[in-house]
């Protein structure tokens, strides 16, 4: 028993530290990629090729003065960034990074846990991340923050729907709610070929959930001067930032798990395949951010309610029909 607990503790520490390191470097990756798209170099002064930039950013965030506005709701103001980083970090527990490996005669699973309702857990917790944005904007006593928070809420309740329908499609195709089972069912054909429309819907609504650029309504720099986190400074701001990038990483993992066959792939070991696919998805997210301009607020809502949601429902119906007939 104690060996089991030890193994679990080591695994947890390993997963969290590796993933947090990756997330820290996602900030650098984003700035570098955007830089090269815009014919610039991006950060390249701290360390060779800017490799120490995330560390420098972290130190800087720690050194900054902490400001809590006088008319802020203090308790909520402090809780909000914690919520926004805690929710995506919880999701690390159910991401299946790889299959079982045998070390020193014992079998280890390369995921922390495998609940039977894995995908429901993911949907539930990932929504909590938006609560962080919402509470942060609402509690900071600033009109821009408030508008950012309101928009965050509106995005959450609308895009969550089409995302859930896309997931239902995957569940129909794979026949299980457990993430590990979903990956196992893709051993032959990946879900991207079985449910391409669901992938499209999932990616679009995922980008909206992530507040990435075509849909970055809650923090529209040009109109709201970064929206919900406008009053935040120092490490609290960094936590919001970090939470957003953790969400991006989790999103990459989810797309890989649900659609791109998880750890399945020829030649290379499973974990490497998993991370390769995840990075490909994250690269796409950054690439499209460097390409597309922000949508207007009413267009964002129109896209969801008039196009994405009906499409997702029809998609589920058609998939169900095909599954029943075949």
Partner 1 sequence: MKDKDIINVRKRQGEKEKYVRPLLKGLAHTMKKFWSKPKTIQYPDQKREVSQRWRGLHELTRNEEGELKCVACGLCASICPARCIDVTPYEEEGGIRYPKEFEIDESRCIFCGFCQEACPKEAIKLTRIYDFVNFSRDECRFDIEKLSDSKKHRFKQKKGKYEHLLG
**β 98-103/106-110 pair status:** antiparallel
The H or E element spanning position 269 is: none
- The encoded tokens of residue 23 equal 């997330």
Nearest distance in Å: CB 307, partner 1: 10
Least Å from the CB of residue 305 to partner 1:
17
> Which residue number, 214 or 270, has a Cβ lying nearer to partner 1?
214
Smaller CB separation from partner 1, 92 or 282: 282
Helix, strand and coil percent figures for the chain, each rounded to 5: 75, 5, 25
> Taking CA 92 as the corner, what is the angle to CA 88 and CA 178, rounded to the nearest 5 degrees?
110
- The interface mask with partner 1, positions 257-296, x = CB under 8 A, is ------------------------------xx-xxx----
Residues facing 98 on adjacent strands: 110
**Is residue 44 part of the contact set for partner 1 (CB under 8 A)?**
yes
Interacting residue with partner 1 among 41, 74, 106, 302 (CB under 8 A): 41
> Residue from 3, 5, 39, 324 that binds partner 1 (CB under 8 A)?
39
Confirm or reject binding of residue 154 to partner 1 (CB under 8 A): no
**Interaxial angle between packed helices 234-258 and 270-291, expressed in degrees from 0 to 180 and rounded to the nearest 10:** 120
Work out which of 9, 40, 116, 318 binds partner 1, going by CB under 8 A: 40
**Residue 35, exposed/middle/buried by CB under 10 A (0-12, 13-18, 19+)?**
middle
Looking at the Cβ atoms of 62 and 299, the one nearer to partner 1 is: 299
**Site residues (CB under 8 A) for partner 1?**
33, 35-41, 44-49, 52, 287-288, 290-292
């Amino acid at each position: 028993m104690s060996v089991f607990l030890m193994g679990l503790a080591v695994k947890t520490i390993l997963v969290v530290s590796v993933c947090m390191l990756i997330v820290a470097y996602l900030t650098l990756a984003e700035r570098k990629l955007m830089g090269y798209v815009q014919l610039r170099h991006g950060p390249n002064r701290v360390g060779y090729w800017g490799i120490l930039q995330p560390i420098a950013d972290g130190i800087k965030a720690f050194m900054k003065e902490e400001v809590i506005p006088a008319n802020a709701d203090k308790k909520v103001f402090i809780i909000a960034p914690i919520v926004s980083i805690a929710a995506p970090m919880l999701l690390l527990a159910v991401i299946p990074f790889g299959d079982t490996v045998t070390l020193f005669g014992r079998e280890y699973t390369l995921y922390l846990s495998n609940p039977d309702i894995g995908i429901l857990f993911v949907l539930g917790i990932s929504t909590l991340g938006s609560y962080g944005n919402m509470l942060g904007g609402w509690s900071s006593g600033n009109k821009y923050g408030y508008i950012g928070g309101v928009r965050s809420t509106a995005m959450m309740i609308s895009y969550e729907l089409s995302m859930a329908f896309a997931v239902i499609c995957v569940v129909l195709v794979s026949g299980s709610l457990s993430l590990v089972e979903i990956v196992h069912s893709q051993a032959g054909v990946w879900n991207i070929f079985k449910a391409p429309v669901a992938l499209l819907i999932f990616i679009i609504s995922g980008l909206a959930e992530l507040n990435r650029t075509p849909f970055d309504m809650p923090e529209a720099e040009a109109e709201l001067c970064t929206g919900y986190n406008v009053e935040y400074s120092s490490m609290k701001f960094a936590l919001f930032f970090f939470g957003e990038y953790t969400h991006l990483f989790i999103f990459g993992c989810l797309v890989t798990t649900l659609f791109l066959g998880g750890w399945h792939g020829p030649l290379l070991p499973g974990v490497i395949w998993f991370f390769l696919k995840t990075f490909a998805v994250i690269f796409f997210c950054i690439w499209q951010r460097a390409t597309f301009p922000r949508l207007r607020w009413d267009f964002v809502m129109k896209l969801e309610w008039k196009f994405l949601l009906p499409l997702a429902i029809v998609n589920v119906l058609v998939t169900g029909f095909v599954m029943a007939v075949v």
